[in-house]
Amino acid sequence: MAAEPTFETAPAARPDGDLLAVRDLTATAALADRSLTLLDGVSIAIAPGEVLGVVGESGSGKTTLARAVVGLLERNVSIAGGAIELAGETIVAPGVGATDQARGRRVGMVFQGASRSLNPLIRVRRQLAEVLRRHEPGISRDDVTRRSEDVLREMRIEDPDRVLDSYPHQLSGGLRQRVAIALAVVTRPSLVIADECTTALDVTTQAEVVRLFRTLIDDLGLGLLFVTHDLMLASDLCDRIVVMSQGRVVESGPTAEVLDRPQDPYTRRLLAAVPTWTEGVENPHA
Ligand SMILES: Nc1ncnc2c1ncn2[C@@H]1O[C@H](COP(=O)(O)OP(=O)(O)OP(=O)(O)O)[C@@H](O)[C@H]1O
Ligand SMILES: [Mg+2]
């Protein structure tokens, strides 16, 4: 979180080498009688090995942004302007939407609540195998087994065989979330998008998930777009933060700068809503 260069006022203008660059993205939803702007000129950038936190009140457009990056926009939502580049390649622009194939292996997604990432009817072993086979059609049976066990060990799961043979409901909430993350990273993506993936978890499990992400980022050098409304969690994990309000980025910068010296009135209000922040109580996640 410490040494960060200071080009933060214009994230879209960062030098080349970004893993993810969202440039001036505008997304609209078609309603019965009118269209609604969900994202209004959003620009963000993530370098390899960097965690970008996206915070903002409910309805500010965080999920829409995350979904645009992974190509999972709802049917009535379309890109009206701007572009998304992954490692320099345009994957989203008006009229351009990369296929799941092109993107799936390079961008992993962890949804809110493990239940949305996991299929309750299928054992973990088959879920991991299906993801691997979808992205690496020629992969051998032995490699599927090895990679599945390895990724669970990376998730600090000590008994991967038991977990592989379990259905999601047979696992604790913390284990389920680790499996959800395993599904997102087993194909070795360069970017992971996590949308409120810790929201349903207790504080201890949240802290474990944060530590796990930290290790993954340090070991694999992946970039992480971490959507949360929990500013404490964001302060713990993120290198930089963008604050969204009503479909726009209202503030962005290194985490410490944004949270300790917020410039935008909206960010100040958001921080004032966290009691421990204003009262100076020690951050329990620190
Ligand atoms: N498919 C859609 N059609 C119409 N409106 C939509 C659609 N998807 C999202 N919206 C609206 O766009 C706005 C942004 O929604 P979004 O889900 O991106 O917000 P969010 O920041 O993720 O909120 P939360 O913190 O509650 O998850 C909201 O007002 C939402 O109602
Ligand atoms: Mg959301």
Instruction: Write the pLDDT tens digit of every residue in 87-100.
Output: 988 888 887 765 55
Nearest ligand (C-alpha, residue 245) = 1
Whether residue 242 has its Cβ less than 6 Å from ligand 1: no
**Who wins on pLDDT, 53 or 135?**
53
Residues 129-133 have a mean pLDDT of 95
Residues 206-220 have a mean pLDDT of 89
* pLDDT score recorded for residue 204: 86
Whether residue 60 has its Cβ less than 6 Å from ligand 1: yes
Pocket test for ligand 1, best of 22, 35, 54, 62 (most atoms within 8 A of CB): 62
Indicate whether 10 pLDDT > 80: no
Residues 49-75 have a mean pLDDT of 92
Whether residue 228 has its Cβ less than 6 Å from ligand 1: no
Q: What percent of the chain has pLDDT over 70?
A: 86
Residues 135-149 have a mean pLDDT of 95
Whether residue 36 has its Cβ less than 6 Å from ligand 1: yes
Q: Which residue has the tokens 């994957």?
A: 91
Q: How confident is the model at residue 267 (pLDDT cuts 50, 70, 90)?
A: confident
Per-residue tokens: 85: 């580049």
Whether residue 58 has its Cβ less than 6 Å from ligand 1: yes
Nearest ligand (C-alpha, residue 40) = 1
CA 72 to ligand 1 center in whole angstroms: 13
Q: What sign does the dihedral 62-64-66-69 (CA atoms) show?
A: negative
Q: How confident is the model at residue 203 (pLDDT cuts 50, 70, 90)?
A: confident
* pLDDT score recorded for residue 12: 42
Indicate whether 141 pLDDT > 60: yes
pTM of the entire predicted model: 0.87
Q: What percent of the chain has pLDDT over 90?
A: 58
Q: How confident is the model at residue 9 (pLDDT cuts 50, 70, 90)?
A: very low
Per-residue tokens: 171: 């696992």
* pLDDT score recorded for residue 253: 96
* pLDDT score recorded for residue 225: 97
- In angstroms, the first-to-last Cα distance of the chain is 12
CA 49 to ligand 2 center in whole angstroms: 24
Radius of gyration of the chain (CA): 19
Nearest ligand (C-alpha, residue 244) = 1
All domains in the chain, ordered by first residue: 1-97+191-197+209-286 (3.40.50.300), 107-188 (3.40.50.300)
Q: How confident is the model at residue 46 (pLDDT cuts 50, 70, 90)?
A: very high
Whether residue 77 has its Cβ less than 6 Å from ligand 1: yes
Residues 88-117 have a mean pLDDT of 74
* pLDDT score recorded for residue 16: 55
Indicate whether 1 pLDDT > 50: no
Residues 238-260 have a mean pLDDT of 95
Residues 211-239 have a mean pLDDT of 91
**Average pLDDT along the chain:** 86
